[in-house]
Amino acid sequence: SQQGEEDPQALSIQEGENATMNCSYKTSINNLQWYRQNSGRGLVHLILIRSNEREKHSGRLRVTLDTSKKSSSLLITASRAADTASYFCATVPTTYGNNRLAFGKGNQVVVIP
Amino acid sequence: GAVVSQHPSRVICKSGTSVKIECRSLDFQATTMFWYRQFPKQSLMLMATSNEGSKATYEQGVEKDKFLINHASLTLSTLTVTSAHPEDSSFYICSARPPWDNTEAFFGQGTRLTVV
């Protein structure tokens, strides 16, 4: 079953604006990861946040994790047209063996030049 | 970083035929690989965990005889869709983790299967 679930959003923003997307999950996790997928391609890892971390930055990405609310957010600052993609959160539930990832539904982001 | 290569990227086949999809880890050995299926505008659904030298572990609801997985070497896992039907048309993606990092998953480019 899918553990990570984003609020179903399709974001359409202007280049330069910030894009924020959310993710919620249901069980205890070891970590939460965000991935990006360009249309018809594989996924690319963006950032990982561990269950004992609250916020993490990587370049223009900022991810937060609230384990009490079982939720996470991904912020992309100063968006670019090349950021147009689908973004998925994925969790590693503590109950899963061999570190299987459980993916959420995904957010489609369109950045208009 | 680690590289996972998937082949073919696209395949069209006739109903009733079988299609094999390959997933290779190019610069690391992967004792475990994962196969996902993705429908348009939907998330990835884990189909099975491929284990080198042993049987694959299938997720609930995934037909073992329909989706044959073979992980005969530390760098290659194959998914064979047997007796394909139009409802098997989908995007199939594999992933693996390198031994030096058991957190980040690296994905193949995906295979778009169309059964006509």
pLDDT at A2 over 50: no
Nearest partner of B47 among B99, B116, B113, judged by Cα: B113
Residue-wise pLDDT for A47-92, tens only, equals 999 999 999 999 999 999 999 999 999 999 999 999 999 999 999 8
Q: Shortest Cα distance from A78 to chain B (angstroms)? A: 25
Higher pLDDT, B8 or B40: B8
Mean pLDDT of B95-116: 90
- Facing residue for A106 by CB, picked from B4, B43, B104: B43
Closest CA–CA distance from residue B4 to any residue of chain A (Å)? 10
Q: Given pLDDT bands bounded at 50, 70 and 90, which one contains residue A3?
A: very low
CB contact under 8 A, B105 and A42: no
Residues 6+ apart with CB under 8 A from B51: B31, B32, B57, B71
Question: For position A97, what pLDDT does the model report?
Answer: 59
Q: Which of residues 46-75 of A touch B (CB under 8 A)?
A: 48
Per-residue pLDDT tens for A14-48? Answer: 999 999 999 988 888 888 999 999 988 999 999 99
The two three-digit tokens of residue B72, written as one number = 């005969």
Tell me if residue B112 falls in helix, strand or coil: strand
Q: CB–CB of B105 and A103 under 8 A?
A: no
| Confidence band for A7, pLDDT divided at 50, 70 and 90 | low
DSSP structure string for A52-81:
T-SEEEETTEEEEEETTTTEEEEEE-S--G
Residues of B in Cβ contact (< 8 Å) with A2: 43, 45
Asked whether the predicted pLDDT for residue B88 surpasses 90, the reply is yes
Residues B32-46: pLDDT tens digits? 999 999 988 888 999
pLDDT over threshold 90, residue A98: no
Label residues B8-35 b or e (16+ Cβ within 10 Å = b). eeebebeeeeebebbbbbeebebbbbbb
Measure A24 CA to nearest chain B CA, in Å: 14
